[in-house]
Amino acid sequence: MKVKVSIREIKDEIDQIRRNYPKLKDDSAFVRWFLHAYLADSEETARKALTGGTGDKSVDAILMDERARQVNLIQGKFHHSLGEFSEKRNDVLALVSPSGMVGNPSP
């Protein structure tokens, strides 16, 4: 059964996460919420999966599931409304391109 979550409920969750982890920005708090809600088995696992460093190729979290033998690369954007924004194609492609840039890499 698919459960619907309202934008207000997500904002409340993000606010709570930011109270517990004040250094997180909204985007990172959202990714942390998503990880715990859908992929990670604990809050600690979700927290440890966050990246946020320079040169991370726009990857906001890396979650390894050894039992499933899979690695989840997460890029998240938090918008304060539902359905009004979509990410630019180049931003999505940059996540999966080897150089982190769209198009042909420089020699």
The better pLDDT of the pair 39, 100 is held by 39
Q: Tokens 């539902």 map to which residue?
A: 82
Whether 1 is covered by a domain: the verdict is no
Q: How many domains does the chain have?
A: 1
**The token pair that represents 79 in the structure block:** 């918008």
Summarised one tens digit per residue, pLDDT across range 38-78 is 999 899 999 999 987 655 567 889 999 888 899 998 888 88
Domain that includes residue 74, residue range:
7-96
Whether 60 is covered by a domain: the verdict is yes
pLDDT score for 58: 74
Whether 76 is covered by a domain: the verdict is yes
Whether 104 is covered by a domain: the verdict is no
Whether 92 is covered by a domain: the verdict is yes
Give this prediction's pTM: 0.73
DSSP state of 46: H
The closest of 64, 72, 71, 80 to 29, measured between CA atoms, is 80
Per DSSP, helices labelled H in the chain are 7-20, 26-34, 43-49, 89-96
Query: Dihedral sign, CA of 71, 53, 74, 45?
Result: positive
The better pLDDT of the pair 87, 34 is held by 34
Whether 11 is covered by a domain: the verdict is yes
